[in-house]
Structure 1
């Protein structure tokens, strides 16, 4: 097993100085409050040394690297063909080359965003000072374009990620959250808090209790999809009252997908909700970084390639709270994706299943957008609604105990099952919460 890398206690910030002056200062102020020490060239006090030697030494002494790439290529040291910013990126990738997930945090402004326009204007003003000749300026622009393309290509590998940002808040929040995720800060702090019940049930197991109707509907629909040569994908809706076990059921679906030898992808859109965010999110899960906004064609091409290798199960934990979220999913994301898949060359060997998790009861569905899963004339251009999640009954709990808790005696199982019902024999509200928080709730 690989040795885990240390926590991030120091970072090397690589960015052209004059045009990126404001975001550099924003980053410095933010990360020093974590606190993380950050290395900036303007803070160095060794003017007698060669800049490139100092850069490399300081970079390799840090725990991680932050690359901020705008529109200016920057200064090229004597004897080199690359700018100091490109050299720093190359040194970083080489230094951490043995790491499956290297501590390289890369940020590029999203095309057309506030940050993109500001950095472009700043770069152009400085380029005009540096290079009076337009032909020389254009050559510098092209070198920066080629360098950023190389960064994007490198970031497409496993364990790597680019963070597009829209403004300074996006940039700072993205970096700070990335550092916390890397350091597993929340996990370590949670260990000092209240302990869970000794008998706490794993979410993947808890989510399967009493969910046989939903699982059977999903399995039947999957068999139908696999038999239809002209159907490449199907989307399913998990719905029910808020906090009725949706996320636990999603975890049970992850386990089911893995047991069925599907590639399971799950994640929440980073930049809000809606069809555009979904396109970007699925692209990120498939390692198709998009710096120019949503690109359904590139996404479909990547999906078709993956479906030649194995079936895919994509689980979206939430579509947000907008009233039209389900309709937007179908018309703005799902049907354009199906059209793009159908336009591809040939039919892949496997199929895509997408599961959308919603956290409210389903209103009367529009037949042209949402259908009950397993309907006789299933239209897979619609969202297939699985049976609604309901609270658990004492029979559900008893059946689970019979199946899973072999170490318990029959009287113990009956006692716990009886405790899942009130005096009138009806299950109490929020049995999911009770199972989740109190485990087996028995001495």
Structure 2
């Protein structure tokens, strides 16, 4: 959500910021509703002042035994006009909010210009894509050959974009998730949380999923929503709260199933596990002060990068361009991993600084140490990382010529001594 004071202060700058995202000018429409609301409120306040005066005059007239019916009639008329003005102000406010809540966050000045992912900027790379001395296979070819990845069985149970993992491959997926959470909580200072997988409208609204991304979500018959990421409940833990500055930063981590309709992905990544309706992800969320958020963003991204390094994967950090940065984010780093079977880089983590955009929607605040009023904290979120995509990357990166897959040593504590699939 945007601060209306920023729109009022410099409408041209606000429209210029929207233009970076390829959006039309909106300041004029927003300020038109703002002016209507303020004018109606001012007029209602003036009428209220007159009503207060009338009440005094009626009291004086009655005490003096004088006729007050004309004053009473005027008061009734004013009351009707006030109700009309209050309704007008409320309607204008609702129209203004509807305009503001549909607009994405203002981009950081350093976000590069661009239309889509082709214009993203690679900042650095860890490792070199390996050259295998045998034909590289994709993850689904590996999994099916091992008899441990079952797409037909999943389709029978639930339809397309689901997978059944069996045996050691199911254990490997579980090991990846457990390893990630253990790392983030044990060494990176995140507090583990087990969160609801079903949330209400207000929770989805607070992080920006509603109303814009309604079609990308799954909704239950009783009006709840399946979470698309644990970012949603983790960030909303501070919704409506006033935090002490000394308590910040707050850092939460959760390993949870995630559910997405993939409404805009028809025909994309239809084979394999890359784009599923249900997947598991380790999520990191930070709540911090504005002056700490840039450093926290860097820190969070390094936490995700460590996961990829310890898994022996080849990865790179990418700064998303203006046309590819998400709705709630001011600045996003994507971590992309090299998949030898595909011969391509694929996203495995996104780490975003949302600044005060989500905090305003959630009405989350903190009280500065000087005790003067309250301020909005900054919220950050990052995949630490997507477990299904990590599984894909491990299978394709560590595949062997004989069809087996070497298991990264870092997963040994969760694999019961198993060092190889196959």
**TM-score scaled by structure 2?**
0.30
**TM-score scaled by structure 1?**
0.29
Per chain length, whose mean CA-contact separation is higher, i.e. which structure has more relative contact order (CA < 8 Å, sep 6+)? 2
- Asked which structure has the greater CA Rg, the reply is 2
